[in-house]
Amino acid sequence: MEPAFARGDILLLSNPRTAIDIGEIVVFKVPGREIPIVHRVLNRHDSGSEPGRQLLLTKGDHNAAHDRQIYQELPQNRDKMWVAEDEIVGRVQGHIPYLGYVTVAMADYPRVKYALLAIAGLVAFFYD
């Protein structure tokens, strides 16, 4: 979600108890995809058939177009046009830059994970 957030930033989320506004940044999960997506709300459709139910159209700040193509990537989502309220993980309230690089390094370089576990084990063994 660059330039707002960079890889390695920790996002602080809140549970959306009130209506989400256009321009807010949300984290959502598309059915069938494992990794959540962090994008800005581009458009909002308040469902007339179900009062209080919001449908959202999102877009990454660095992307040229909206996310409908992302929603429809999987065969079971071919007709998906909006992100539903129940697919929202949270709304972004803030972030802590660079703190997440430890987890990024562990995911990208498994040896870093083993080294950190070894160091933690040594500290636990000698700390008494």
pLDDT at 80 over 90: yes
pLDDT recorded at residue 106 = 87
- Domain of 87? 10-97
Task: Write out pLDDT tens, residues 22-35.
Answer: 999 999 999 999 99
- 37 contact partners, CB below 8 Å, separation of at least 6: 27, 28, 29, 30, 58, 67, 70
Tell whether 38 is covered by a domain: yes
Q: pTM for the complete prediction? A: 0.78
Record the tokens describing residue 64, joined without a space.
Answer: 């040229």
pLDDT for res 47: 67
Based on the structure, what is the number of domains in the chain? 2
Q: Is residue 23 one of the residues assigned to a domain?
A: yes
Residue 93 in domain: yes
Quick one: which of 124, 3, 105, 127 has its CA closest to 62? 3
